């Protein structure tokens, strides 16, 4: 079984994370799990946590995607795609880093002296 995915993703706070896990397995895949920090958050095409921001937008016998909308700093961490079939399993881990958005405001003050 062969599996590939992203190694690291940098995401701006508030934007969407889209993780893709690609696999090639014979016999065909029987189960795909997404885990975050060792906790299962999704299996195949269903989300296991009660978070409306999390979705499985795509799943078939060669790839699965995990989407998290409106990211927060708590979404940072390691996400693992674990693929199982009748012969064994394989996994790929992606590190997600959430970056803040900084706004700079320059205030100019003019002083006129007469």
The answer as to whether 114 is a domain residue is no
Residue 5 vs residue 21, higher pLDDT: 21
Backbone angles phi, psi at 14, to 5 degrees: 95, -15
Q: How many domains does the chain have?
A: 1
Helix (H, G, I), strand (E, B) or coil at 2: strand
The answer as to whether 55 is a domain residue is yes
The answer as to whether 104 is a domain residue is no
The answer as to whether 40 is a domain residue is yes
Mean pLDDT across 72-82: 94
The answer as to whether 108 is a domain residue is no
The per-residue pLDDT of the chain, averaged, comes to 84
| Domain around 65 | 2-99
The answer as to whether 41 is a domain residue is yes
Whether the pLDDT of residue 103 is over 50: the answer is no
- Whole-prediction pTM value? 0.81
What CATH number should be reported for the domain holding residue 76?
2.60.40.10
């Amino acid at each position: 079984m062969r599996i590939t995915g992203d190694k690291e993703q940098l995401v701006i706070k508030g934007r969407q994370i889209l993780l893709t896990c690609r696999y090639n397995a014979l016999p065909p895949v029987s189960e795909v799990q997404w885990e975050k920090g060792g906790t299962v958050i999704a299996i195949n095409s269903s989300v296991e946590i009660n978070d409306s921001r999390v979705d499985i937008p795509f799943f078939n016998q060669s790839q699965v995607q995990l989407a998290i909308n409106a990211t927060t700093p708590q979404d940072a961490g390691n996400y693992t795609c674990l693929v199982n079939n009748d012969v064994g399993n394989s996994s790929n881990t992606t590190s997600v880093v959430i970056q803040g958005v900084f706004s700079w405001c320059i205030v100019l003050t003019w002083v006129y002296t007469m």
